[in-house]
């Protein structure tokens, strides 16, 4: 069930893959959905408005945030790459976002973090939010920075944040690794809804996954959020096994939770 706890919600990264998946779903959570990206997400519907902004542009981000009640921050770089663009979008950009939230009095943020914050834990391990970050690349490092920055803005300014370490959010799992990391679009929306509507969010790290039989992540410390996934990768298991080869256990992408990200780069 979706609750309209907020009059106006800002969705950043609205032109991206997950932004597009959330666009129609989030209309159940608010009266007005403000869409933002560097490029146009398309014509706004009657309940939408569009504010274009580059996350590295502090003035543009301030205008993007002005007048909203909560932020669902899906913007920024979502893949490994050279440090320059990651620095601008994911480090400077997230600072600009939180500073704008402070200035404009926004008190709740859902921050799209990533499983790649902990990508160098092994697939034989089950980890909790209390365990130290072990990023598998510069992208993961940037999201670890965002988690720390959001903690600072909660401790000093009272801005509540859910750091959602998104696993693999696609229509269905693409490979064997995703049987553990898969997050359906509907469960992603259920998770965001829970983060927006729980009475006391605080600063919470929560792993973004569906109800998969195989998992490397323990969400016990985020039970106060009230997220209950309803989908599972298990219905895709037979099809995934049929179309993929048995894993090479000497491959770091099979050994570590980050998959192929652990052997991506360096970039010049």
Q: Specify whether the CB–CB gap between 159 and 145 falls below 8 A.
A: no
Alpha-carbon distance values, 74 to 120, 127, 143, 230 (Å): 23, 24, 12, 22
Alpha-carbon distance values, 150 to 84, 154, 160 (Å): 22, 6, 8
Alpha-carbon distance values, 137 to 45, 127, 229, 241, 267 (Å): 38, 19, 28, 28, 11
Q: Specify whether the CB–CB gap between 115 and 259 falls below 8 A.
A: no
Tokens in use for 90? 């994911």
Q: Is 121 a catalytic residue?
A: no
At residue 243, the 3 state secondary structure works out as helix
What letter does residue 21 receive in the DSSP assignment?
H
| φ/ψ bin of 13: left (φ > 0), alpha (ψ from -120 to 50), beta (otherwise) | left
CB atoms within 10 A of CB 245: 8
Tokens in use for 112? 């799209």
Catalytic residue among 95, 98, 121, 139: 139
Q: What kind and span of H or E run contains 65?
A: helix 58-65
Contacts of 89 (CB under 8 A, 6+ apart): 55, 56, 75, 76, 77
Residues labelled catalytic: 139
């Amino acid at each position: 069930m979706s609750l309209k706890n907020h009059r106006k919600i800002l969705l950043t990264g609205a032109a991206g893959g997950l932004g597009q998946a959330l666009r129609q779903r989030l209309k159940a959570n608010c009266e007005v959905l403000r869409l933002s990206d560097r490029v146009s997400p398309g014509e706004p519907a009657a309940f939408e408005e569009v504010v274009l902004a580059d996350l590295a542009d502090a003035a543009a981000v301030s205008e993007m945030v002005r007048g909203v009640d909560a932020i669902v921050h899906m913007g920024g770089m979502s893949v490994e790459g050279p440090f320059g663009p990651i620095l601008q979008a994911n480090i400077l950009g997230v600072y600009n976002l939180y500073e704008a939230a402070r200035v404009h009095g926004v008190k709740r943020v859902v921050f799209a973090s990533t499983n790649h914050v902990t990508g160098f834990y092994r697939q034989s391990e089950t980890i909790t939010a209390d365990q130290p970050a072990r990023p598998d690349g510069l992208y993961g490092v940037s999201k670890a920075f965002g988690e720390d920055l959001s903690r600072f803005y909660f401790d000093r300014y009272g801005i509540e944040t859910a750091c959602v370490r998104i696993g693999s959010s696609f229509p269905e799992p693409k490979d064997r690794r995703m049987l553990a990391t898969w997050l359906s679009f509907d469960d992603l929306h259920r998770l965001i809804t829970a983060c927006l509507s729980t009475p006391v969010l605080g600063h919470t790290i929560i792993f973004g996954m569906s109800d998969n039989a195989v998992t490397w992540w323990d969400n016990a410390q985020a039970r106060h959020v009230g997220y209950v996934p309803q989908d599972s990768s298990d219905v895709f298991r037979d099809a995934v096994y049929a179309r993929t080869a048995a894993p090479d256990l000497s491959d770091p992408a099979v050994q570590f939770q980050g998959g192929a990200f652990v052997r991506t780069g360096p970039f010049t």
